[in-house]
Amino acid sequence: MGESENDYYYYHVASKELREKAIELHFQRYMEVGFFKDGEVDPYQDSSVYFAAVYKEDHSVVGVNRLIFKPMNELPTLQEFTIYDLERKKLKLLESHLYAEMSALTKLPKHDCTLGMLRTTLQYSLENGIYYWFCSLDQRVHNYMRRMFNFPFIQIGEPKVYLGSTTVPCILDLKETAKVLKDTRLKLYEYLYTPNPMEAIK
């Protein structure tokens, strides 16, 4: 477990009390936009590793992301969306230890910590031999990430209205992403993929 930092935030692989605060923020933000109802149980919480952005000024958790570890057909994207037959055949070839679902990426307003959370999640993934992220992206976020950052998200199924907006089921190959970013967004590649020494969190 560990942390990285920039001028304004620490980024943690969240455990113990920090994990609880990350989960609280996830619920808070999702309830604010109507994704969760009060008292609703998240079926993926116990199968997830959480990541938190902590604001240095007051040590509050201001951003959260997570990786869900379950059998492929039990991941949210595979359960909630109609996956193309050809893509499903390809996905069956992936060994179970190579993938996870990236979800719950959210932050408080006025905090620019999204890339830092993605970096920490990506570094954790690579260190643990995870090279594929499943994810369900809002159509606008999907288009923005491809246009602005050249993230090579592969659409694997039919978009549909999910959690209040048109959403695209995707998979992201982290090795392919490294190649694309190294050729087209070198500074972003260096930021995301350069290993960062992590200090143990007690």
Query: Quick one: pLDDT at residue 201?
Result: 30
For each successive 10 residues of the chain (202 residues), what is the average pLDDT?
62 90 86 68 91 92 95 95 96 96 90 91 96 93 83 93 86 96 93 67 28
**157 burial type by CB count under 10 A (0-12 exposed, 13-18 middle, 19+ buried):** buried
Query: Quick one: pLDDT at residue 36?
Result: 65
Query: Quick one: pLDDT at residue 195?
Result: 80
Structurally, the chain folds into a number of domains equal to: 1
Q: Is 34 left (phi over 0), alpha (psi -120 to 50) or beta?
A: left
In a domain, 200, yes or no: no
In a domain, 201, yes or no: no
Alpha carbons within 13 angstroms on the beta-carbon side of residue 106 total 17
Structure tokens that stand for 5 in this block: 């930092």
Number of H helices, E strands in the chain: 7, 9
In a domain, 119, yes or no: yes
Is 24 in contact with 60 (CB distance < 8 Å)? no
CATH number, residue 18? 3.40.630.30
In a domain, 198, yes or no: no
- Kindly give, in sequence order, each residue whose CB lies less than 8 Å from that of residue 139, ignoring residues fewer than 6 positions away: 159, 165, 166, 167, 168
In a domain, 202, yes or no: no
CA end-to-end distance (rounded Å), the chain: 9
Task: Tally Cβ neighbours within 10 Å of residue 136.
Answer: 23
Query: Quick one: pLDDT at residue 9?
Result: 85
pTM (2 decimals)? 0.88
Domain, as residue range, for 8: 3-193
In a domain, 156, yes or no: yes
In a domain, 124, yes or no: yes
Look up tokens 């958790």; give the residue: 61
